[in-house]
Chain A
Amino acid sequence: MSTNTQNSRRDFLKTLTSGGLLLGFSWLDTDAAVPVAIADLLAAEKKGFNSYLSIDTDGIITILSPNPELGQNIMTSFSMIIAEELEADWTKVKVIQAPLDTKSFDRQLTGGSGAIPHSWKRLRTAGATAKYMLIQAAANQWNLPASECSAKKGMVIHAQSGKKLSYGSLAVQAASIEVPKNVPLKDRKDFTLIGKLVKNVANKSIVTGKPLFGLDFYREGMLYAMIQRPKAFGTKIKSVDSAAAKAMPGIVDVVVFKNNVAVVGKSTWEVTKARKLLVIEYENDGGTPESTSDHNAIFSNLLDNGNVTVKRKNGDVAAAFANAAKIIKSEYQGPFLSHSPMEPMNFFAHVRPDGVELVGPTQTPASARIATSKLLGIPEDKITLQITRLGGGFGRRLKFDYVVEAAELSSIVKAPIKLIWTREDDMTGGSYRPAVRYRFEAAIDSSGNLTGYKCRGVGINSGSPTREDNFPSGAIDNLLIEAVEHKSAITTGAWRAPITNFLAFAEQAFLDEVATAMGKDPVQFRLDLLARAKSNPVGAIKYDIARMEGVIKLAAEKSGWGKKKGVSQGFSVYFSHASYVAQVCEVIMQAGKPVIKKIYAIADCGEVVNLGGARQQVMGGVLDGMGHAMYSKLTFKNGAAEQNNFNTYRLIRMKDVPEVEPHFVNNGIEPTGLGEPALPPTGGAVANAIFKATGKRLRNQPFIEDEIFKTT
């Protein structure tokens, strides 16, 4: 298999040089019920079909992959699902990134761990339909009943006679077969590709440095642009002196729009240098710009006196706490984080009188186009958007601010431009994981039962800082979940596993505190709560108890929970998006300091499509969770970020990496997504293991700032 960096529809059609089976599918309805076979490429162009599975006469199978690829390995997984049902020869499968096409594709975005769950049935149906037509074409040619024929590895076979025909040789005839409805799908026991370890289809292009990413896109005659944005959130431009910048070699123009001063020139370096010569004065835009020290005070005040929203209430919480023999109360705080994908924000835009061309890395191409259309007053059908490979996303590229900036700037300077954010631009002017603080309280009665539970969360532009219907809701008689929000000029956004990336740590660490106070084993404590939720649920339960029990038990088994000498283990489990992950972290003490040696991660994401890709998501998610919990924070002084690059903002590096052992629950349910769910449990497993090893509860991130890590 291979990938193709070209990705326009015309280029795709050109790859079918000699005719063949071309299937256009309506991906817009759940059943993908109406595939259309097109033998004539010109007719295909005219009809505007754009969601294709094609089989060329040379047997090459080409698949258009609609969702943006940011390292979740979707191009490989999508193709595997089609190839499985199609009984394709995997070595003849070619994958092409589709451009934005909302008429042909549904949910053409990357986020929410949703691509595979959304497309699972659609892709299987696509493959099965093509297989049906190929078998029928062979049966017709042999004058034999199709029921006697089968397909394997790109061949249709008639076992009784030993006749065989390749898909390539059948492609033209197959195109004239009536497209079937309700084709049967394979039984999972017959899967030969799904669940196996299949290598990333882009490996060769990646290791040879091919131009895959947005920043690698160059167009003859394009200009380069950088924007100076306000350094402090909550400020606006007062005055701009751009004379010195404009006088620099290679600079074409300096333009001011909104709160931006854009430098446009003939090369990245010339623009970089000229931008440093801008003299811009800023003034406060309304209130006073905020600092991290203000946020600490705001958190305390809002937790005590804030106007809280009750998100869930069960039983009589006040009575449970009034009658408690023991009350445990803790607060957990998490800082702002930068997404920092390795490829900084960038986009190419060319606004012409007759339309707009956009090229670059985005997780939400459709929303980016809608916003561009609104801003420029140009209809969406006059705007094309080519999706490049994304050098990471982590949620940052769900926001399309940089796409709209590029389009606006191109419309002002009337030239094709590539807008580039530097690393500093990204870290200081981007969007952040919201800073949050949680106050947890638990009431234990005189018999040692957990009778009351409260969680009050406050977030800065967090949307909603709680997940009120998640475990342990449903397992405790008297429960109160509340949220408070602080509005700030500091812009935030969805950061991989939004909210749960910190909330899971806080909750799982607090449950560990409660288990310890009750003298219970942390694993058994959770299983007891789940047993209660199953036998006698309190209010609505919106998580799957059996699946959560499944990962807990498998984690205990795989990690040898409670049976190991010489290591301290910490446990954590979390349900996020639609999947379940339990983790056990192992810590040892070295020179008086805790060292993370190993993390077991047991995931129930339903059917694993690509074992290689799934392991990558789990291991990468664990390192993402551990790295940020341990090392990362972004602080503000007078509205400006105090860290602006990797010299002051610490990310996990190779020496920090523990062993990670992933396992998957094999329960045969349909896939439920894996891009995010492995991240949330990690902070809790790490903190709980460190508590076991040191007796110290870590409640604030990053952990590295705690005294237990300081050299004495």
Chain B
Amino acid sequence: MPIFKLSINGKQYQPDVAEDTPLLWVLRDHLGLVGTKYGCGIAQCGACTVHVNGTAVRSCVLPVSSVKNSAVTTIEGLSANGDHPLQTAWDEVDVAQCGYCQSGQLMTAAALLKKNPHPSSEEINNAMQGNICRCGAYHRIHEAIKVASKKI
């Protein structure tokens, strides 16, 4: 199997995996970065969202071969101490219930705020529409993004 050179959260990794392996499973099974979640495997729920060169992507359908030479950021690398404005807002607003989808919600929201630091409610809805929260924490996800946006 080919060895891929990956840059994830600023660190270099060289997993030995089949080239069609989705980035999600490389992160989870091979690199021990389990914050990125499996939810649907077909890019419909957003639980596996990571950043590739700053853009939010669904890692469950992204073959590892396509992320060579790209900078990947996962929830573990969103901030050094868990203090990204969204992470602190998530605590302040007390967003999570079961918490399983929240890594993906945070990564989608972080990509949104990077492009658009002060999104309208409609822009938040549009950006977050691809992320399912089965517990129904949508009100607080929405509110926390607004709270974080004020801190940026």
Interface status of B132 (Cβ within 8 A of chain A): yes
Inter-chain contact A423/B40, CB cutoff 8 Å: yes
Find residues 189-216 in chain A having any chain B CB closer than 8 Å to their own CB. 197, 199-200, 202-213, 215-216
Task: Check if A340 sits within 8 Å of B134, measured CB to CB.
Answer: yes
Q: Are A651 and B132 in contact (CB under 8 A)?
A: yes
Is B18 a contact of A249 with CB atoms below 8 Å?
yes
Contact of A646 among B29, B40, B135 (CB under 8 A): B40
Chain A residues touching B, range: 35 or more
Q: Which of A329-337, A450-458, A582-590, A617-625 forms contacts with chain B?
A: A617-625
Question: Which A residues between 351 and 407 are near B, CB-CB below 8 angstroms?
Answer: 389-394
User: Taking the complex as formed, is A545 at the interface, i.e. its CB lies under 8 A from any CB of chain B?
Assistant: no
With most chain A CB atoms within 10 A of its CB, the pick from B42, B134, B137, B138 is B134
Residue-by-residue, is A207-236 near B (CB-CB < 8 Å gives 1, otherwise 0)?
A: 111111101101000001000000000000
User: Which among A199, A205, A269 is the interface contact of B21 at CB below 8 angstroms?
Assistant: A269
A70 within 8 A of B: yes
Given the interface pairs A623-B138, A645-B40, the reply to whether A209 lies near B125 with Cβ below 8 Å is: no
Chain A residues within 8 Å of B132, by CB: 342, 646, 651, 653
Cα of A389 to Cα of B33 in the assembled complex, Å: 17
Compute how far the CA of A653 lies from the CA of B134 in the bound complex, rounded to whole angstroms. Answer: 9
Segment at the B interface, from A16-24, A53-61, A551-559, A654-662: A654-662
Q: Which A residues, 618 to 658, have Cβ-Cβ distances below 8 Å to chain B?
A: 619-624, 627, 645-647, 651-655, 657
Instruction: Give complex CA distance A226, B135 in Å.
Output: 26
Which single member of B34, B45, B98 contacts A211 (CB below 8 Å)?
A: B34
Whether the Cβ atoms of A269 and B129 lie closer than 8 Å is: no
**Considering only CB atoms, which chain B residue lies closest to A623 in the complex?**
B136
Instruction: Decide if A624 touches B91 in the complex (CB within 8 Å).
Output: no
Contact (Cβ within 8 A) A202 B29: no
> Complex Cα distance A215/B27, Å?
13
Q: What residues of chain B lie closer than 8 Å to A424, measured between beta carbons? A: 41
Min Cβ gap A657→B in Å is 5
- Provide the residues of chain A in CB contact with B18, threshold 8 Å: 249, 269-270, 273
Cα–Cα distance between A207 and B144 once the two chains are bound (Å): 12
When distances are taken between beta carbons in the complex, the residues of chain B under 8 Å from A652 are: 136, 138
- Bound-state Cα–Cα, A620 to B133, Å: 10
A392 and B134 in contact (CB under 8 A), knowing A207-B91, A268-B25, A646-B45?
yes
From B96, B126, B130, B134, contact of A206 by CB (8 A): B96
B16 CB, nearest partner CB in chain A, Å: 11
Q: Among the listed A340, A393, A620, A654, which residue makes an inter-chain contact with B129, where contact means beta carbons less than 8 Å apart?
A: A654
A62-86 CB contacts (< 8 Å) to partner B = 70-73
Cα of A66 to Cα of B35 in the assembled complex, Å: 25
Residues of B within 8 A of A612 (CB): 94
A400-429, CB under 8 A of B: which get 1 and which 0? 000000000000000000000011100000
Q: Is the CB of B136 within 8 A of A654?
A: no
Output the nearest chain A residue to B64 by Cβ-Cβ distance.
A269
Docked CA distance A197–B133 (Å)? 22
Contact A422–B41 (Cβ < 8 Å): yes
Whether A344 sits at the interface, judged by CB under 8 Å, is yes
User: Which among B22, B103, B132, B138 has the greatest number of chain A C-beta atoms within 10 A?
Assistant: B138
**B32 within 8 A of partner (CB):** yes
- Please give me the residue from chain A that is nearest to B139 by CB atom: A619
Given A202-B96, A624-B136, A647-B42, A216-B129 contact (CB < 8 Å): no
Check B25–A389 contact: CB distance below 8 A: no
Q: Please determine whether B134 and A344 come into contact, CB atoms closer than 8 angstroms.
A: no
* Distance between Cα atoms of A616 and B93 in the complex (Å): 11
* A343 touches B (CB below 8 Å): yes
Are A218 and B41 neighbours in the complex by a CB distance under 8 Å? no
B134 touches A342 (CB 8 A): yes
| Neighbouring A residues of B17 by C-beta, 8 Å | 267, 269
* B14 / chain A contacts, CB cutoff of 8 Å: none
Q: Does A341 contact B (CB under 8 A)?
A: yes
Chain B residues in 8 Å Cβ range of A391: 37, 98-101
Complex Cα distance A659/B121, Å?
13
Least CB distance from B58 to A in Å reads 12
Bound Cα distance from A623 to B98, whole angstroms: 15
| A-B pairs with lowest CB-CB distance, top 4 | A209-B35, A391-B100, A71-B98, A623-B136
Report 19 cross-chain contacts, Cβ distance below 8 Å, ordered by A residue.
A71-B135, A200-B94, A203-B96, A204-B82, A206-B99, A207-B90, A207-B91, A207-B96, A269-B21, A341-B100, A423-B40, A616-B97, A620-B136, A621-B136, A653-B132, A655-B125, A655-B126, A657-B136, A659-B139
Known: A342-B132, A624-B136. 9 other contacts (CB 8 A): A71-B96, A206-B102, A207-B86, A616-B97, A623-B138, A645-B41, A646-B44, A653-B130, A657-B138
